[in-house]
Amino acid sequence: MPTIESLRSPLLSALERMRLPDDPTRVQQWLDYLRLLERWNQTYNLTAIRQPAEMLTRHLLDSLAMAEYWSEQELADMGSGAGLPGLPLAILQPERRVVLIESNGKKSRFLREVKRNLGLAGVEVVEQRAEAYAPAAKLAAATARAVAPLSALAGWCAHWLAPAGRLLAMKGPGYGAELDAIPEGFRLEEVRPLSVPGLDGERVLVVLRHADGAS
């Protein structure tokens, strides 16, 4: 079975194809994240994907595929699970704030362990449901990856997403029907195709804009 360290070369190759930074600090943190995920997954079943090479492609690289479209200084990751896409993005942009919202206690403990172990000062772990989140100030952007339909995601973040804030929803095949059920207070801004090295199948980023004054 491939080890996490054996993923260094394919990770560097993928970063080059994706035009993302490959500095040693980030690369080591991404590998350390995968190492922690593999270790915790043996006990806590954080993800059904257990092969390191698949974790690299289907979790880490898939999460990083949306990086170029995240321009805000903060991001809330709803139903973060094992920290996807929030943790890979937080490693990429350590100067930005990433809020990981996850109600499952075991998964939240894992997220806190990654934050501590990797020294991710910009990461905040919130152990509650996204629809119950009540930050002191509204956030400029939210995201989610394979968690719920667009209508549900928009409903969860409507009360804490800033006016004109963006919902960056990562979607796979079959997302088209969801575009017909965008709730009031949001409008479709764009659908961006995502390219993930080594991953077949359609991946897109659906961007919804929160209407001014929406609550």
Is 89 inside any structural domain?
A: yes
**58-80 burial: b if 16+ Cβ within 10 Å, else e:** bbbbbbbbbbeebeeebbbbbbb
Q: Structural domain tally of the chain?
A: 1
The 10s digit of each residue's pLDDT in 141-153 is 999 998 999 999 9
Is 215 inside any structural domain?
A: no
Is 79 inside any structural domain?
A: yes
Read off the pLDDT band of 19 (50, 70, 90).
very high
Res. 55: pLDDT tops 50: yes
Is 200 inside any structural domain?
A: yes
pTM (predicted TM-score): 0.94
Host domain of residue 157 = 5-210
The domain that contains 147 carries what CATH number? 3.40.50.150
Can you list the alpha helix ranges (DSSP code H) found in the chain?
8-18, 24-44, 52-55, 62-64, 86-92, 105-118, 150-157
pLDDT value at residue 212: 64
Residue with tokens 């040693």: 24
Pairing of strands 139-145, 123-126: unpaired
